[in-house]
Amino acid sequence: MKTWKLNVIVVALLLPILSAVVLAQTQAGMNKAACDEYTKTDAELNTIYRQVLRERQADAGFTRKMRAAQRAWIAFRDAHLAALYPAADTRREYGSVYPTCRCAALAETTRKRTEELRRWTKAAAEGDVCAGSTRAGADDNASSGMPEYERADSIFRKRWTLTQMGERSLRSDEPYLEFNIKQGRFSGSTGCNRISGGYRVDGSSLRITPVAVTRRACPGGDAGQIEASFLKALETTTRFQIQNDIVRLYATDSPILIFKAEAKASVAEASDVTETASVTGTVTYRQRVALTPGAVVEVKLLDVSRADAPSVTIAEQVIKPAGRQVPIEFELRYDPRRIEQNRRYAVRARILEGVKLRFTSTQVYPVITGGNPNAVEVIVSPVR
């Protein structure tokens, strides 16, 4: 009899403890399940977000604003959670269920944001006048005069032949441009010299960065005039328009350059465009004098390995500051296959006014190999 009573007493004492243990195990499982669900929801959000940026990568204005919107949403998400559970000691105030509640709230907010982002991955309903940037489809873009960003990859990887410059029609297939979306670079020809440079797209606006030009002399006829006009037009371009296989570049209300698409570049050509590297930096001087409007800055990447032989030019950029003053930025793009690690490379620069040499670098600025950087400040000195 005494043994039975003792067992009852022991069970009565242990029951609250056992219940607490079971409850703790159950709550821990609930916490884990809720937070695992939030982790999956967050991963889905990131997948959709990256998809939107990838599909609209040609539109720098959109991607910049979308990133800003996403940062603002993250701030809202965190502020919303803090307002929902404002206590400083959440465990004490809301108990062991707080992790479940927290993860459930985060998952709900994240799912709503994911659905918002999905709008940019689907075509807007026909006739939706408030679709804004979620509108998709070539017809909408063509009718609005805006670039077809959904087709940007295929459009910009074509070769664009210059067919008209101002009021003048061109029949030669020599002047052309090719754009590389991933690198934000373009290359091409003026008809007698190779050109390259960078570009920035923001909505329908287009800015061409300083153009690098080779120094080959143009043949007789009007090739030199065409080159000069072509380069000037590129530098003054402010916006563009794509319709079918025609690209129009504008500086005012009328197109200054019109291009027609050719067949897609060959695999070899595409490889030549993408397999590049660069040396960047600035050219400056210490004297307190201004560059004249006609000044030209020449920057070269040279192989200076052999002291008993002339330097070999690997890359060259000719910059027309057009009123800009030092420091002048440069970017020398080169083929990495031409670089050998046991050789020495350096950057040299000079500034000319017409045919007269005004400034030149007087020391060696080593780059690329031997632990040297790919960015350098070149200081030029006046020529006496």
Please write the tens of the pLDDT for every residue from 193-209. 888 888 877 667 788 87
% of the chain exceeding 90 in pLDDT: 21
Answer whether residue 270 is part of any domain: no
Task: Among 235, 261, 287, identify where a domain stops.
Answer: 261
Q: How far is CA 365 from CA 272, 304, 362, in A?
A: 27, 11, 9
Answer whether residue 328 is part of any domain: yes
Q: Please state, in angstroms and rounded to a whole number, the distance separating the CA atoms of residues 252 and 237.
A: 9
pLDDT (tens digit, 9 = 90+) per residue, 351-381? 999 889 999 999 999 999 888 888 889 999 9
Is residue 299 scored above 90 in pLDDT? yes
Answer whether residue 4 is part of any domain: no
pLDDT band at residue 301 under the 50/70/90 scheme: very high
Answer whether residue 316 is part of any domain: yes
Task: Among 75, 105, 122, identify where a domain stops.
Answer: 122
* pLDDT attached to residue 169: 87
Residues 42 and 99 in one domain: yes
Residues 282 and 205 in one domain: no
Q: How far is CA 79 from CA 72, 84, 355, 363, in A?
A: 11, 9, 64, 56
Q: Please state, in angstroms and rounded to a whole number, the distance separating the CA atoms of residues 351 and 325.
A: 12
Q: How far is CA 61 from CA 12, 53, 66, 248, 328, in A?
A: 70, 11, 9, 19, 26
More confident site: 213 or 259: 259
Q: Average pLDDT, stretch 268-280?
A: 57
Answer whether residue 128 is part of any domain: no
pLDDT (tens digit, 9 = 90+) per residue, 95-145? 887 888 888 888 888 888 988 888 887 755 555 557 777 754 333 333 333
8 A C-beta contact, residue 217 and residue 235: no
Is residue 5 scored above 60 in pLDDT? no
Residues 35 and 67 in one domain: yes
Find the CATH number of the domain harbouring 224. 2.40.128.270
More confident site: 32 or 283: 283
Residues 50 and 76 in one domain: yes
Q: To which residue do tokens 């190999």 refer?
A: 369
Residues 43 and 80 in one domain: yes
Residues 202 and 105 in one domain: no
The 8-class DSSP code of residue 181 comes to T
Is residue 73 scored above 80 in pLDDT? yes
Number of structural domains (the chain) is 3
Answer whether residue 304 is part of any domain: yes
8 A C-beta contact, residue 56 and residue 66: yes
Residue type, 285: Y
pLDDT averaged over the chain? 79
8 A C-beta contact, residue 383 and residue 359: yes
Residues 152 and 255 in one domain: yes
pLDDT (tens digit, 9 = 90+) per residue, 318-329? 998 878 899 998
Residues 167 and 251 in one domain: yes
Answer whether residue 9 is part of any domain: no
Residues 231 and 284 in one domain: no
Answer whether residue 129 is part of any domain: no
Kindly report the CA angle at 366 between 364 and 367, in degrees rounded to 5? 150
Task: Among 122, 157, 181, identify where a domain stops.
Answer: 122
Residues 164 and 244 in one domain: yes
* pLDDT attached to residue 313: 92
More confident site: 296 or 43: 296
Find the CATH number of the domain harbouring 116. 1.20.1270.180
Find the CATH number of the domain harbouring 320. 2.60.40.2990
Domain housing 93: 27-122
* pLDDT attached to residue 276: 66
pLDDT (tens digit, 9 = 90+) per residue, 17-63? 545 544 455 777 777 777 878 877 887 888 788 888 877 777 777 88
